[in-house]
Amino acid sequence: MSKQQIDVAAFVWPSYTGDEPRSRMFWPEGIGEWQSVKNSVKGAPFHDWPRKPLWGYVNEADPYVMQMEIDAAADHGVNVFIYDWYWFDNRPFLEQCLDNGFLQAANRNRMKFYLMWANHDANNVWNINLSDDFGNTVIWGGAVPRKQFEIIVHRIIERYFSQSNYYTIDGKPVFMIYELENLINGLGGVEECRKALDWFREETVRAGFPGLHLQATAWSKNGTNLSGVDAHGGLNRSQFDALGFDSITHYQFVHFTNMNRDYKDILVDVQKEWEKIDTNYPIPYFPHVSIGWDNNPRFKRFREYVCRNNPPEEFEKALRMAKDFVIAHPQQQPLVTLNSWNEWTETSYLEPDDLHGYGYLDAVKRVFADN
């Protein structure tokens, strides 16, 4: 198989497994957040739920399941997975999807992977019986002090950077951080945070790598928390610059624009956001494409904030925008990020369903794999 010219990296939400014991406090049926997908109901004429996965409610911590998913992803041009990685209550959370599934799959070397530390707070939004009325109740905080940070860093370097198919830029392992506010608050301010990140770089070099590539998640300042778990926006410019990140991408369109409208109108703002970051920041921006937004499967009462008219054909237009951006920036790594491989309860996923089939994956294949 010839090498793909542009790396296409899809975020993976590692909750579609019952292998993590602590996940049962949110999804007691023992199948992870498939429980919310399976039990979802129709809420409005333009709300396409319930949807069903064509592959079934599979355990993504099963290496045989992941072998099938890796083949499907790679065959369609998705050649990198970005795993959401969690650390709550002094220990990791939801590592099984990566450790037991992806890394044990016989064909794991068809894909690269890297980690995004999803260091937001955990609350009852994942429990549909409590999400409407108690969704803001914090169960585990995402901020960690320096001592915990050092434990995390050593775990990341030893368990993941050391993997042969960990994604690198210029030989440097890529590590993405989701909530910079939580990072700063846990480490004791901007200056102490920068010291901790510099130490992370030193430890990565000590482990034999040429350096560390730190990637930041972009937000609009004081953005609205629509996912139910996020903080309320990003940092001001001086704070961000002081941390010394190497690149920027987004996790979701919802973090910077109004998703309660037609997809074609959303893309107008997306193009402007890419241009703004590209113009105003000296570090590379890797273009991000989200498929849509509708997190009603996590709630009993219908929420009218829903992305509309986003079939695979419209998604493909966004992918072509991203490809054009990459081509126009030959000096930087050819990388595009997608939300996501499997964010079913936010209705932004590539995995095939009974509504569009393989439509979204086929769109990726037409743009990035069929040269």
Question: Residue 103 phi/psi, 5° resolution?
Answer: -75, -15
pTM, whole model, 2 decimals?
0.96
- Report whether 119 contacts 143 (CB < 8 A): yes
CA distance 258 to 265: 9
CATH entry 3.20.20.80 includes domain 7-369: yes
CA distance 298 to 38: 11
Question: What does pLDDT average to over the chain?
Answer: 94
Q: How many CA atoms lie within 13 A of 127 on its CB side?
A: 18
DSSP E strands: which ranges in the chain? 7-12, 80-88, 91-93, 112-117, 122-123, 138-140, 168-169, 172-177, 213-217, 247-249, 288-290, 335-339
Written as tens digits, the pLDDT of the chain (371 aa) is: 346 799 999 999 999 999 999 999 999 999 999 999 999 988 777 778 889 999 999 999 999 999 999 999 999 999 999 999 999 999 999 999 999 999 999 999 999 999 999 999 999 999 999 999 988 899 999 999 999 999 999 999 999 999 999 999 999 999 999 999 999 999 999 999 999 999 999 999 999 999 999 999 998 865 567 677 776 567 788 999 999 999 999 999 999 999 999 999 999 999 999 999 999 999 999 999 999 999 999 999 998 899 999 999 999 999 999 999 999 999 999 999 999 999 999 999 999 999 999 999 999 999 999 75
To which H or E segment does residue 155 belong? helix 146-156
What is the tens place of the pLDDT at every residue in 170-202? 999 999 999 999 999 999 999 999 999 999 999
Tokens of 279: 């113009």
Residue 217 and residue 108: Cα distance in Å, rounded?
Answer: 26
Q: What's the pLDDT score for residue 371?
A: 59
